[in-house]
Amino acid sequence: MIVAEDSSHSLQYRLITQPDHARFAAELLSLWRPLADHPRRDELLFAAREHDNGWRETDAAPYWDAQRRRPHDFISLPRGERIELWQRGTARFAGEHPYASLLIARHAIRLHQERSGEEWQAFREYLDELYRGLAEETDASEEQVEADYRWIDLTDLISLAACNGWSEPFGRYGFKGQVREGTLSLAPFPLAGSTAFRIPCRRIPVRAYRGDADLGGGLAAAGWEQLPVRVLP
């Protein structure tokens, strides 16, 4: 779950699920001109859209953060729940879409490469074994996977910046971007033209929630809205 304080709406938390953030990343990538003739375009789009699929179940009933008394976000979620959702998310499409799953596993490895200690060892071993098996099944070289994964990593970052409303400039792989008041600017501009997107979101009041039931009640009362994002040079 992406949890951002939205001062433009009477100090509310704006909540965007990880799957909805991923769908926005895939929508961007689908309009990416340099990707138009890519031989594995369909699998790249699938990987972009499903790279956070393990969060489906978790974000359907967000966890309460007892320390901050608000919903857990994608950074603060406890280790046990995080490992469970990434095991689920990396395995879900391994049989149906092995190459896209290879890229999703690559994403999980990158996200958790700094995690150390015995509590993470079994999970890292699981990811490494899954990655090796999928690479062997798809006969994909490390150079190919790394080159393809850059598209997933880049659009993931761009989508995170838009969904979180990060105001600081960002950059990766030669692209630079910035989010300002609902506008996402990119350079060099990779799309055919300026375009607008709408990302599903919910808003709940910024207050100290008392537990899962209190948080769940607040979420149940919050209607679904659309966060407009205009993308332009």
**3-state SS string for 112-179:** CCCCCCHHHHHHHHHHHHHHHHHHHHHCCCHHHHHHHHHHHHHHHHHHHHHHHCCCCCEEECCEEEEE
pLDDT for the residue numbered 217: 95
pLDDT for the residue numbered 9: 64
Residue 60's pLDDT band (cuts 50, 70, 90) = very high
Whether pLDDT at 42 is above 80: yes
Residues 41, 89: Cα–Cα separation, whole Å: 21
Whether pLDDT at 116 is above 90: no
pLDDT for the residue numbered 114: 86
pLDDT tens per residue across span 162-221: 999 999 999 999 999 999 988 999 999 999 888 999 999 999 999 999 999 999 999 999
pLDDT > 70: what percent of the chain? Answer: 99
pLDDT tens per residue across span 71-96: 999 999 999 999 999 999 999 999 99
Q: What is the pTM of this model?
A: 0.95
Residue 110's pLDDT band (cuts 50, 70, 90) = very high
pLDDT for the residue numbered 146: 97
pLDDT for the residue numbered 58: 95
Q: Which residue has the higher pLDDT, 5 or 56?
A: 56
DSSP string covering the chain, please? -EEEEEGGGSSEEEEE-HHHHHHHHHHHHHT-GGGTT-TTHHHHHHHHHHTTTTHHHHHHSPPEETTTTEE--TTTS-HHHHHHHHHHHHHTTTTT-HHHHHHHHHHHHHHTTT--SHHHHHHHHHHHHHHHHHHHHHT--HHHHHHHHHHHHHHHHHHHHHHHT--S-EEETTEEEEEETTEEEEES--SSS-EEEEEEEEEEE-S---SHHHHHHHHHHSPPEEEEEEEE-
Mean pLDDT (the chain) is: 95
The answer to whether 47 and 152 are in contact (CB under 8 A) is yes
Domain containing 19 equals: 2-232
Domain count, the chain: 1
Q: Which residue has the higher pLDDT, 220 or 116?
A: 220
pLDDT for the residue numbered 13: 94
Residues 20, 124: Cα–Cα separation, whole Å: 26
